[in-house]
A and B are shown apart, each in its own frame.
Chain A
Amino acid sequence: MSFSIKSTQRVVGAALVSAMVFGAVSFEAALAADRNLKVWFGRENFIPDDRFATFNAEYPDINVEFEVIRLEDVITQLILALRSGTAPDIVQIHTRDVAQLAQGGVVKNVSHMIEEMKQRFPVTYEQLAPLAWEGASDFDGNLYGIALYAQSIYLTYRTDWLDEAGIEYPLETTDRVLEAAKALTTLPEGGERFGFSLLGCCNSPTWEMPLFLAMGGEVINGVPQVDTEIGIAWIEFYQELMRSQAAHPDTPSWDSGQMRAAFIGERAGMMNMGEHIYVELHKQVPYEEGRWTFERLPTRPGQTEPHVQSGFAFPFIVTTANEDEEAAMLALEYLSRPAFAKQVAIRYQPTTNTAVSEDAEYLAAKPWATDISPLSSNLISLPTHPTKAIQIYDVLQELRDLMVSSPNSDAAEMAANAQEALNAAAGL
Chain B
Amino acid sequence: MNRQMTRTEESTLRPEPGILQDWLGRYRRFFLIGLPLAFLIIWTMVPILWAFLASLKNPLEIYESSTFFPRSPSLAAYQTVLAIDGFGKWIFNSVLVTAVATIVPLILSILAAYGFARYLFAFRHVLLLLYLIPRIIPRVSLIVPLNDLMTDLGLINTYWVLYLTYIASAVPLSTWILVGFFRAVPREIEESATIDGANMWNRLRHVILPIAWPGVVTAAVLCIREGWNEFAFVLALVTETGMRTLPYALYMLKDSMGVQNYAVYNAFTILTVLPLLIVYLLLERRVVESIVSGAVK
Q: Are B259 and A264 in contact (CB under 8 A)?
A: yes
* With A258-B63, A265-B63 as contacts: A43 and B257 at CB distance below 8 Å: yes
Residue of B whose beta carbon sits closest to that of A69: B239
How many Å from the CB of A422 to the closest CB on chain B? 23
How many Å from the CB of B154 to the closest CB on chain A? 9
Taken together as a complex, chains A and B put the C-alpha atoms of A45 and B150 apart, in Å, by 31
* With A77-B239, A85-B151 as contacts: A267 and B64 at CB distance below 8 Å: yes
How many Å from the CB of B233 to the closest CB on chain A? 12
Q: Are A70 and B252 in contact (CB under 8 A)?
A: yes
Interface flag for B240 (CB, 8 Å): yes
Interface flag for B258 (CB, 8 Å): yes
Residue of B whose beta carbon sits closest to that of A65: B240
Interface flag for B156 (CB, 8 Å): yes
Interface flag for A245 (CB, 8 Å): no
* Most central of A260, A261, A276 by chain B CB within 10 Å: A261
Interface flag for A262 (CB, 8 Å): yes
Q: Which B131-162 residues have C-beta < 8 A from chain A?
A: 143-144, 147-148, 150-151, 156-157
Contact with A along B231-271 (1 / 0, CB 8 A): 00001100111000000000110111111101000000000
Interface flag for B60 (CB, 8 Å): yes
Taken together as a complex, chains A and B put the C-alpha atoms of A284 and B66 apart, in Å, by 20
Q: Are A81 and B148 in contact (CB under 8 A)?
A: no
Q: Are B156 and A86 in contact (CB under 8 A)?
A: yes
Q: Which A40-85 residues have C-beta < 8 A from chain B?
A: 40, 43, 45, 67-73, 76-77, 80-81, 83-85
Q: Which A230-283 residues have C-beta < 8 A from chain B?
A: 255-258, 260-262, 264-265, 267, 274, 276-277, 280
Q: Are B156 and A277 in contact (CB under 8 A)?
A: no
Q: Are A68 and B236 in contact (CB under 8 A)?
A: no
Taken together as a complex, chains A and B put the C-alpha atoms of A278 and B239 apart, in Å, by 31
Instruction: List A contacts of B239 (CB < 8 A).
Output: 40, 67, 69, 77, 81, 86
Instruction: List B contacts of A43 (CB < 8 A).
Output: 255, 257
Interface flag for A142 (CB, 8 Å): no
Q: Are B256 and A257 in contact (CB under 8 A)?
A: yes
Instruction: List B contacts of A349 (CB < 8 A).
Output: 257
Q: Are A84 and B151 in contact (CB under 8 A)?
A: yes
Q: Are B258 and A67 in contact (CB under 8 A)?
A: no
Instruction: List A contacts of B148 (CB < 8 A).
Output: 83-84
How many Å from the CB of A196 to the closest CB on chain B? 16
Q: Are B256 and A256 in contact (CB under 8 A)?
A: yes
Interface flag for A203 (CB, 8 Å): yes
Q: Are A262 and B63 in contact (CB under 8 A)?
A: yes
Partner among A83, A85, A265 whose Cβ is within 8 Å of the Cβ of B60: A265
Q: Are B252 and A68 in contact (CB under 8 A)?
A: yes
Q: Are B60 and A80 in contact (CB under 8 A)?
A: no
Taken together as a complex, chains A and B put the C-alpha atoms of A83 and B145 apart, in Å, by 11
Q: Are B157 and A276 in contact (CB under 8 A)?
A: no
How many Å from the CB of A354 to the closest CB on chain B? 22
Q: Are B63 and A80 in contact (CB under 8 A)?
A: no
Q: Are A83 and B147 in contact (CB under 8 A)?
A: yes
* With A68-B252, A267-B64, A284-B60 as contacts: A257 and B259 at CB distance below 8 Å: yes
How many Å from the CB of B257 to the closest CB on chain A? 7
Taken together as a complex, chains A and B put the C-alpha atoms of A71 and B62 apart, in Å, by 25
Q: Are A255 and B60 in contact (CB under 8 A)?
A: no
Taken together as a complex, chains A and B put the C-alpha atoms of A17 and B148 apart, in Å, by 48
Taken together as a complex, chains A and B put the C-alpha atoms of A77 and B235 apart, in Å, by 8
Partner among A84, A257, A258 whose Cβ is within 8 Å of the Cβ of B156: A84
Instruction: List A contacts of B60 (CB < 8 A).
Output: 261, 264-265, 284
Q: Which A170-204 residues have C-beta < 8 A from chain B?
A: 192, 202-203
Q: Are A255 and B256 in contact (CB under 8 A)?
A: yes
Residue of A whose beta carbon sits closest to that of B262: A257
Partner among A80, A192, A276 whose Cβ is within 8 Å of the Cβ of B257: A276
* Most central of A262, A265, A277 by chain B CB within 10 Å: A265
Partner among B157, B235, B258, B262 whose Cβ is within 8 Å of the Cβ of A277: B258
Taken together as a complex, chains A and B put the C-alpha atoms of A264 and B59 apart, in Å, by 11
Residue of B whose beta carbon sits closest to that of A151: B257
Q: Are A280 and B144 in contact (CB under 8 A)?
A: no
Instruction: List A contacts of B254 (CB < 8 A).
Output: 70
Taken together as a complex, chains A and B put the C-alpha atoms of A277 and B260 apart, in Å, by 11
How many Å from the CB of A83 to the closest CB on chain B? 6
How many Å from the CB of B135 to the closest CB on chain A? 23
Instruction: List B contacts of A40 (CB < 8 A).
Output: 239
Instruction: List A contacts of B64 (CB < 8 A).
Output: 265, 267
Instruction: List B contacts of A260 (CB < 8 A).
Output: 258-259
How many Å from the CB of B39 to the closest CB on chain A? 25
Partner among A45, A70, A80, A261 whose Cβ is within 8 Å of the Cβ of B144: A80
* With A68-B241, A86-B156, A265-B64 as contacts: A80 and B259 at CB distance below 8 Å: no
Q: Are B240 and A280 in contact (CB under 8 A)?
A: no
What are 13 A-B contacts defined by CB distance under 8 Å? Answer: A67-B240, A86-B239, A202-B256, A256-B257, A257-B255, A257-B259, A258-B63, A260-B258, A265-B63, A267-B63, A274-B257, A284-B60, A349-B257
Other A-B contacts than A73-B235, A276-B257, 7 sampled, CB-CB below 8 A, are A40-B239, A43-B255, A70-B252, A71-B256, A80-B143, A264-B259, A280-B258
Residues of chain A whose beta carbon lies under 8 Å from any beta carbon of chain B: 40, 43, 45, 67-73, 76-77, 80-81, 83-86, 192, 202-203, 255-258, 260-262, 264-265, 267, 274, 276-277, 280, 284, 348-349
Residues of chain B whose beta carbon lies under 8 Å from any beta carbon of chain A: 59-64, 66, 143-144, 147-148, 150-151, 156-157, 235-236, 239-241, 251-252, 254-260, 262
